[in-house]
Amino acid sequence: MADFEYIFKRQHPAYKKNREGWIKSRKAYSGGVQYIDSALVKHVSEVELEFNERRKRAYYLNYPRKIARLITHYVLSAFPQRRNANDELIEDFSRDGLRVNEVMRQFSTMLNVYGSAWMLVEMPSFSGDVDPERKKQERIRPYAVAISPLTVIDWAYGNNGRLLWALLEENSYDSSDPFAPPHGRVQRRLWTRDEWFLFEKNSQGGKVVLRDSGRHKLGVVPLVQAVEADGFGMDANHWFEDVVRVSDAILNNESEAQMNIVKQSFFSESVNSGTGFSDFIKSLYLLYGALIFG
């Protein structure tokens, strides 16, 4: 009997090696207050009160997002020629409103950010006969989705260089019933060349069960993996990691510089607005401020 529990323990070596860096890159691309809180570094001599003030004032110049999108914009600046393509697929490639060029922009941007990206070609599940009216009404047709490498947990290739199987994480949030409390589902879907299996981890006892399965009869795993050819076979790290580190340095240096200006301005105003200070005392204060704050 197959060990369903092991499905939730599997991790590809490449996934295990890169997961932490992928998460960091995703957060840097996303930006915002949460990223500032995680990327801002408190230096050794800084008191908590001053660090909190500096964190409130900090701003993030999101260079990682700008660079990733700029490359995508350049690569896809000219629309490809798609002869005899289905108009419905071109206008709604993802089946949720994204045109084919928009899905490819997502795919390209993921490739820039992670150095790896996946594309899933899917089909809505259905049963019974399908006539043209039902096909149109239920939108029963193939669609494509760009997938982050953080979603594809494990995979294997066959001797022919094609995927044997791939394991995807599909955690979901079910709030379909307005009269029942919503609940999360911890799931993983296994795709093979002919079948798919949906496994779910029970939220109560943690037991793994086979929730659903089916046959797709494609003869191939409906996933395509792209890995950026950066590093020229030297197993080099992805260049985007360096972009993130430089961006983090800019964030921290800008924050320090801003805080030094604030402190110097406050000090100068305090000295200049005081009464009864001799010119000698004022000079001493200004000299002290210059020595301490640069």
CB distance 135 to 141 below 8 Å = yes
Is 146 within a domain? Answer: yes
Same domain, 137 and 164: yes
Same domain, 20 and 138: yes
For residue 265, count other CB atoms closer than 10 A to its CB.
10
Q: How far apart are CA 30 and CA 37, in angstroms?
A: 13
Q: How far apart are CA 11 and CA 151, in angstroms?
A: 11
Residue count of the chain, please give it. Answer: 294
Same domain, 206 and 274: no
Is 244 within a domain? Answer: no
Same domain, 196 and 231: yes
What is the end-to-end Cα distance of the chain in Å, rounded? 70
* C-alpha closest to that of 21 among 274, 267, 238: 238
Structural domains counted in the chain: 2
Q: How far apart are CA 195 and CA 165, in angstroms?
A: 10
Strand partners, 199: 188, 210
* DSSP character string of the chain: ---GGGGGT---HHHHHHHHHHHHHHHHHH-HHHHHHHH----TT--HHHHHHHHHH-----HHHHHHHHHHHHHTSSPPP-TT--HHHHH-TTSSS--HHHHHHHHHHHHHHHSEEEEEEE-----S---HHHHHHTT-S-EEEEE-TTTEEEEEE-TTSSEEEEEEE--EEE---TTS--EEEEEEEEEESSEEEEEEE-TTT--EEEEEEEE---SS-SEEEEE--TTTTS-PPPTHHHHHHHHHHHHHHHHHHHHHHHHHHHHHHHHHT-SS--HHHHHHHHHHHHHHH-
Same domain, 17 and 92: yes
Is 38 within a domain? Answer: no
Same domain, 183 and 268: no
Can you give the pLDDT of all 294 residues of the chain as single tens digits? 577 889 999 999 999 999 999 999 999 999 999 999 999 999 888 889 989 999 999 999 999 999 999 999 998 988 888 888 888 888 888 888 899 999 999 999 999 999 999 999 988 877 778 778 888 877 888 899 999 999 999 999 999 999 999 999 998 878 888 888 887 888 999 999 999 999 998 877 678 989 999 998 899 999 999 998 776 667 788 999 999 999 999 999 999 888 888 777 655 555 455 544 455 555 555 555 555 555
Predicted pLDDT at 171? 83
Predicted pLDDT at 206? 76
Predicted pLDDT at 273? 54
Instruction: Name the burial class of residue 40, with classes exposed (0-12), middle (13-18) and buried (19+) by CB atoms within 10 angstroms of its CB.
Output: middle
Predicted pLDDT at 14? 93
Is 42 within a domain? Answer: no
Same domain, 167 and 230: yes
Predicted pLDDT at 107? 96
Amino acid at 164: L
Structural domain for 269, as ranges = 249-293
Is 47 within a domain? Answer: no
Tell me the HSE value of 39 on the side-chain side, using a 13 A CA sphere: 31
Q: Which of 238, 268, 285 is the last residue of a domain?
A: 238
Is 40 within a domain? Answer: no
Same domain, 25 and 78: yes
Q: pTM (2 decimals)?
A: 0.81
Same domain, 272 and 233: no
CB distance 42 to 51 below 8 Å = yes
Is 82 within a domain? Answer: yes
Same domain, 278 and 222: no
Is 45 within a domain? Answer: no
Same domain, 276 and 226: no
Same domain, 122 and 253: no
